[in-house]
Amino acid sequence: MNNNVNKNLDINNRNAIINTTNITKTYMIGDIKVKALMGINLRISEGEFVTVMGPSGSGKSTLMNIIGCLDTPTSGTYILENIDVSKLNDDQLADIRNKKVGFVFQTYNLLPRSNAIHNVELPLIYSKDKVINKSKKILSTLQSVGLSGWEKHKPSELSGGQQQRVAIARALINNPSIILADEPTGNLDSVTGEEIIAIFQKLNREGKTIILVTHELSIAHHTQRIIYLRDGIITNQEKIANPVNAEEKLAVMPKLEDKMKLMQAGEIS
Ligand code: ADP
Ligand code: MG
């Protein structure tokens, strides 16, 4: 797809990268059926940045797991980049997931004893394709998320925001077309959260399709569309005409260090 042509088209006219028809997911707990998704029809265009919002238990993570090929629907069809994912076996699913999807989670999910380089390297170890210039690739990916100088640090030696940057680098290392981020700012203060969203916006400008789950409307307003989920169905969708630019917002937000100084001086509490 030619990106220059792509940019000139309205989002709705672009190629659908994700297309689900009547997806359901029912979990069995013993004899009890839990209907987590009850007929999801969702179309996400190539290069879109969307948010999924909804109360706890509404099915957000279940939907992300299906979109990310971590799990399969109980019924319905799911077309990912023209591939009918609902018909694939576990091996094929793992292969697609590794090539096309990068995951970012609220709790970072890093290996605690491994440094940033080794955490980012992990998906390459599972990749079937031979990777050339592996270490150069890892270092440049860490640099692209602002972690130059922190490559040899372990998670416990990094701040929350830095750990999430490592997780984003790990999600990017196989050059996926889709990034799925399940409450990636949930454990972060507002400035750090904004910095993480700024990275996602940059990646989106570079062409990545991004699906973000969040509880915070202020975060959702940084994306192009909000999909509201409740009790396993999509109840509403809202287009954001002018998404908030995280870089611009950061420029006028008080920095955490400045806030601390003011608190120490007794000027704010
Ligand atoms: P959300 O991410 O919006 O909080 P989830 O997708 O995690 O919602 O869960 C949707 C529903 O499915 C909830 O009722 C939850 O308890 C149930 N559920 C999620 N995962 C499982 C599972 N592995 N086994 C059984 N029930 C599950
Ligand atoms: Mg969840």
Q: In what order do the strands lie in the sheet with 178-182?
A: 101-105, 178-182, 209-213, 49-53, 225-230, 233-239
Q: What pLDDT shows up at residue 54?
A: 96
- For the Cβ of 60 lying below 6 angstroms from any atom of ligand 1, the answer is yes
- Which atom of ligand 1 lies at the shortest distance from residue 232's CA? 10
pLDDT tens track for 170-210: 999 999 999 999 999 999 999 999 999 999 999 999 999 99
Q: What pLDDT shows up at residue 127?
A: 75
In a domain, 246, yes or no: yes
Give distance in angstroms: CA of 36 to centre of ligand 1: 6
Q: How many alpha carbons fall within 13 Å on the CB side of residue 219?
A: 26
In a domain, 263, yes or no: no
Q: What pLDDT shows up at residue 9?
A: 41
Q: What pLDDT shows up at residue 259?
A: 72
- For the Cβ of 61 lying below 6 angstroms from any atom of ligand 1, the answer is yes
In a domain, 78, yes or no: no
Q: What pLDDT shows up at residue 4?
A: 42
- For the Cβ of 28 lying below 6 angstroms from any atom of ligand 1, the answer is no
E strand or H helix at 102, and its extent? strand 101-105
Enumerate residue ranges in the chain where pLDDT < 50: 1-13
In a domain, 150, yes or no: yes
- For the Cβ of 29 lying below 6 angstroms from any atom of ligand 1, the answer is yes
Cβ pair 54, 221 in contact under 8 A: no
- Kindly report the pTM of this predicted structure: 0.90
Which domain range does residue 183 map to? 48-69+98-251
Q: What pLDDT shows up at residue 56?
A: 94
CATH number, position 239: 3.40.50.300
In a domain, 225, yes or no: yes
Give distance in angstroms: CA of 211 to centre of ligand 1: 18
In a domain, 57, yes or no: yes
Give distance in angstroms: CA of 150 to centre of ligand 2: 30
Q: What pLDDT shows up at residue 130?
A: 76
pLDDT tens track for 7-18: 434 444 468 999
In a domain, 124, yes or no: yes
Give distance in angstroms: CA of 213 to centre of ligand 2: 8
Domain count, the chain: 1
Give distance in angstroms: CA of 19 to centre of ligand 2: 21
At residue 143, what is the residue type? Q
Q: What pLDDT shows up at residue 258?
A: 74
- Which atom of ligand 1 lies at the shortest distance from residue 55's CA? 3
In a domain, 28, yes or no: no
Q: What pLDDT shows up at residue 269?
A: 67
- Which residues have CB under 8 Å from 197's CB, separation 6+? 185, 219, 222, 246
